[in-house]
Structure 1
Amino acid sequence: MKYNYKIVLGLLIILNFSCDDFLEITPLGQTIPSTYNDYVYLLNSDALIYQSEIGYVNLFTDDLEKSLDDDMPDEVGFSSLPEFGINYYYFNPGPTYPLDTNDAFFSSAYSQIYTYDFVANGIMEVTDATEEEKLAVKAEALFCRAYNFFKLVNLYAKAYDPDTASTDYGVPLILDDNIYAEYGRNTVEEVYSQIISDLLEAIPNLNLNASSNYHPTLSAGYFLLAKVYLFRGEFEQALTYANLAIENKGSFELQDLKNYIAFEGGWGGRIFNNTTYEAMEEMYDVSENMYIKNSLTNFNGTALATEELVAVYEKDLPEGSIDKRRDLYFETDQAEFNLGSPIFFPGRTIYGAFVTRNAGILLPDLYLILAELEARIGSKDQAMEYINYLRDYRITNNVPLTAASNEDALNIVLEERRRELSFLSDFRFQDLKRLNKESAFAKTITHTVEGVDYTLPPNDPRWILPLSNDVIQFNPDMPQYDR
């Protein structure tokens, strides 16, 4: 069911969208795209690359620590955080953003969705392209719309539960390019169903290879569908689509982190190829980045890794081996990072990749999902084969891991997910949230500040982000979660 309250997103979209010649001024009656190239141009807008502020949800997790301890530098305190970030870290109830500030990710996601609606609903009307060309453009728009709805529903709603999804508040499904239309808040089930529908329509017309990894491929389509079914707990379906994703991966390959070394520099001076001594490639040149998104959020030099996360990196590490993810992206005890002088954090580890990491769809995540699904419903040995293949690209002198049972394999896989995806986009937040539905993995998160513990139990409503303030102000009767 759709909750029959009205939502006005027109102003939000107009103010946050910037597609130079077209959509920004379309509501005022000016130029409307009418040719194939016009629509392709819209899909190449820089505004579609970004996932503004999504990485801040790491502040909810067990990977990141902020500290006011006397022996810790000011950089790892709270002065660099916006008010909503502080609310995240302390698990404060109620609104997270100040009342005069809107949620940047929510706004940008719906701005992007408006673009994809416009393209999906209009491209088939142009007369200067073949049917195949038009269907490919529509497929990209549908995929990208589904991607945004998937992010939104997993941030601003309950984790998917088949027993309650048909009544749980989801997010508004905006499927028309009419910015003045009125919308309700759809249920979680309705949003997931729309995501699946969009992907099933898109996949037959996605190409094996794209012009760049800013655009989705066939493999990315199958991957996202697999992840949707994984989050729904429908593992057989998820494994089917994950296998199709890996079978159609085309030219995507894992990046071998063993080929890189880290120095104490900051942006442009941190990670280098150990043969050519050139700086690590930009994310659009990295072969494992299947679909690029930039989160515009990083904690470089401003957040500690929890001692628990550091221990996860050290677990199962062969003697004399180096986990390059730990080596390249973190520093222990002290660091410089081009800050002018060293900062000291004795006995602790600070995050400092100082490279732009892809927050979208990654080949390593596909291997991890395949491994998780095999561990859940298939072969523990196949699960470990996927994990060991990934670790061979991450760990010097790697020694293959083995699992005594499927349960053992699943624990190993989930630990590897944490190593691979820490501090990256919303991945850890989403894993914690979905796994809280399983008693074996449900976890209370504790943040300690100046000796005071702040806790977030499993399935607590504070795991659900509130809708953006402007939506609530325009629609005070919009149903909300009590957090």
Structure 2
Amino acid sequence: MKQYFIRQVAVSLVAGVTLWGCGNQLNVDPVQSVPEDKALQTASDVKGALVGCYDGFGSNNFASGAIQYTPDLLADDGEIRFNGTFATLLQYYQKAMLANNTQVRDTWTSAYSTINRVNNVLENLSKLDTDAERAAAEGEALFLRGTIYFNLVRLFARTWGDGDNTVNPGVPLVLKSTKAPITSEYSIPRNTVAQVYTQVIADLTKAETDLKNGKLTTDGVTAEGAAAILSRVYLAQGEYAKARDAADRVIQSGRYALEIEFGNVFNDYVNRKGVPSREAIFSSLITIQDGTNDLLTYYGASDYGGRGDIRVQSKHLAQYEQGDIRGDFFYQGSNGQVYTQKYIDQFSNVTQVRLAEMYLTRAEGNLLAGTQVGDTPLNDVNLIRERAGLAPLKTADRTAILKERKLELMFEGELLHDLRRTKRNISSSVAYNAPNLILPIPQREIDVNKLLVQNQGY
């Protein structure tokens, strides 16, 4: 097991993040705390509000923790162990959530609060000075909204194709800002899964187009970031040619490159003083001044400032081939337990999507579409294996591709979604479409909005 020097950083921590597309740090401005329902009067107001959208997206209750550990805990079949004291996360791990689970509530609330900020920006694009600024701001805002809704529908609704997508309830689509006082006009029902996916694709497609000519924030999301999330959406739908093409656009852009060393992908504050990995397509920025992240909190041992709640078990470690560098990317904490080395620093950025995933998506898309766009499935898979120190495969079927995807992206929040979209059961007793893999609509929302229908089993 590799050991790292444990740094002691004395700072006052306040939850707060901004985001990276690629390049340098996004400027943190006090205007990011502008109330989400404040009227935006000037171009400066709109720009500041857009930074605030990134801030909301990257909160611990959403993109810097919740959307990763929630599906990871739900997907477990003995490969990890949750040993924490928080009943909210224990319910995830035991697949026995209650409708009054406060973490479920906080994830939902954080998402819709940020969506409200985004809608406020979209309604005030005219305040910006040029068409180029308006297009860039629109692209960034639509990317955030589309990505939030995609994560919400994956967590709070039945997976695509499990029954009738045009009937299955998804999540409410709120496409206009809400401002005080809150009245009954803001009570809306859940849109269908199909309607949510249609909106997600529309938002992300327009975002990719808008962002081709640049972005408004210094280092916000790029067009390739929108394409990368689109590739996930199309995979979820079984639209393999479209997933392949979206991933290929990211790869062919030439803006990103695989890290030579697997360890350099993660913990960028340790490795590069906060400069994101060249492999990172889109990341949440965690600053020393005002940031923290819940990935270290739960996945990291106390040696590095974490709680040590999510522990890696031998059942997972046994899945790596001899010589696989990824199989050594773990450490033993002072408590004798094993933890992933992906999150060992409190102030390192949280990568939301990275280039290795695009190669694996292109491989799967090409394989299932019977094509060789960009490269062959075998070559794409072997590129990832080579970086991991493994011998190349001679053939690549879907089982091999999905295995590489699991081991490459483990602990990054995608396993549950991959299992559900490929209709692979979680365990012998938990089917891929089991109701207890879907989060409940928060009880508080049900109580306030009588038009909301609760999920099965709650």
Contact 1:102-1:470 at 8 Å conserved across structures: no
Q: Distance in 2 between matches of 1:222 and 1:26?
A: 27
Q: Distance in 2 between matches of 1:308 and 1:116?
A: 42
Q: Per-residue CA shift, 1:368-417, capped at 9, x if unaligned?
A: 1111112212358811211122233332xx421121xxxx5211111111
1:82 lines up with 2:86 in the alignment: yes
Change (3 A) 1:259 1:174: closer
The aligned residue for residue 43 of structure 1 is: 50
Q: Per-residue CA shift, 1:295-354, capped at 9, x if unaligned?
A: 62331233332433212222xx4xxx3x333323x13xxx34xxxxx3225xxx433441
User: 1:296 corresponds to which letter in structure 2?
Assistant: D
Per-residue deviation, 1:17: 12
Q: Distance in 2 between matches of 1:465 and 1:192?
A: 18
Contact 1:166-1:189 at 8 Å conserved across structures: yes
Per-residue deviation, 1:228: 1.2
The aligned residue for residue 425 of structure 2 is: 443
Q: Distance in 1 between matches of 2:161 and 2:404?
A: 25
Q: Distance in 1 between matches of 2:198 and 2:96?
A: 32
Contact 2:326-2:407 at 8 Å conserved across structures: yes
Q: Distance in 1 between matches of 2:49 and 2:120?
A: 9
The aligned residue for residue 421 of structure 1 is: 409
Per-residue deviation, 1:41: 1.8
Contact 1:367-1:387 at 8 Å conserved across structures: yes
Change (3 A) 1:241 1:361: same
Q: Per-residue CA shift, 1:402-448, capped at 9, x if unaligned?
A: 21xxxx52111111111111112x21121122222xxxxx22426xx
Question: 1:18-417, aligned counterparts within 5 Å?
Answer: 21=31, 24-25=34-35, 27=37, 32-45=39-52, 46-50=55-59, 51=63, 52-57=65-70, 58-62=72-76, 65=79, 77=83, 80-92=84-96, 94-95=98-99, 97=101, 103-123=105-125, 125-126=126-127, 129-161=129-161, 164-179=164-179, 180=182, 181-207=186-212, 215-248=220-253, 250-257=254-261, 279-281=270-272, 284-293=275-284, 296-297=294-295, 298-301=298-301, 302=308, 303-314=310-321, 317=322, 321=323, 323-328=324-329, 330-331=330-331, 335-336=332-333, 342-345=334-337, 349-353=338-342, 354-355=344-345, 356=348, 358-379=350-371, 382-395=376-389, 398-403=390-395, 408-417=396-405
TM score, norm. by length of structure 2: 0.78
Unaligned 5+ segments in structure 1 are 1-15, 68-75, 262-269, 273-277, 337-341, 437-441, 447-454
Q: Distance in 2 between matches of 1:259 and 1:233?
A: 32
Mark the structure with the bigger radius of gyration.
1
Change (3 A) 1:260 1:246: closer
Does the residue aligned with 2:132 lie in a helix, a strand or coil?
helix
Per-residue deviation, 1:201: 2.1
Q: Per-residue CA shift, 1:50-73, capped at 9, x if unaligned?
A: 325223321122376565xxxxxx
Change (3 A) 1:467 1:247: same
Change (3 A) 1:211 1:35: closer
Change (3 A) 1:366 1:241: same
Change (3 A) 1:221 1:149: same
Q: Distance in 1 between matches of 2:206 and 2:391?
A: 42
CA RMSD, Structure 1 to Structure 2 (Å): 3.2
Does the residue aligned with 1:42 lie in a helix, a strand or coil?
helix
User: Sequence identity of aligned pairs in percent?
Assistant: 24
Q: Distance in 1 between matches of 2:227 and 2:17?
A: 29
Aligned to 1:434, which of 409, 418, 421?
A: 421
Contact 1:257-1:325 at 8 Å conserved across structures: no
The aligned residue for residue 267 of structure 1 is: none
More strand by share: 1
User: 1:351 corresponds to which letter in structure 2?
Assistant: T
Q: Distance in 1 between matches of 2:263 and 2:452?
A: 52
Contact 1:94-1:482 at 8 Å conserved across structures: no
Runs of 4+ in 1 over 6 A off after TM superposition: 16-19
Does the residue aligned with 1:129 lie in a helix, a strand or coil?
coil
Q: Per-residue CA shift, 1:184-206, capped at 9, x if unaligned?
A: 21000010011111122222211
The aligned residue for residue 71 of structure 1 is: none
Change (3 A) 1:216 1:399: same
Per-residue deviation, 1:293: 3.2
User: 1:343 corresponds to which letter in structure 2?
Assistant: N
Q: Per-residue CA shift, 1:107-133, capped at 9, x if unaligned?
A: 11111111111111211x22x521122
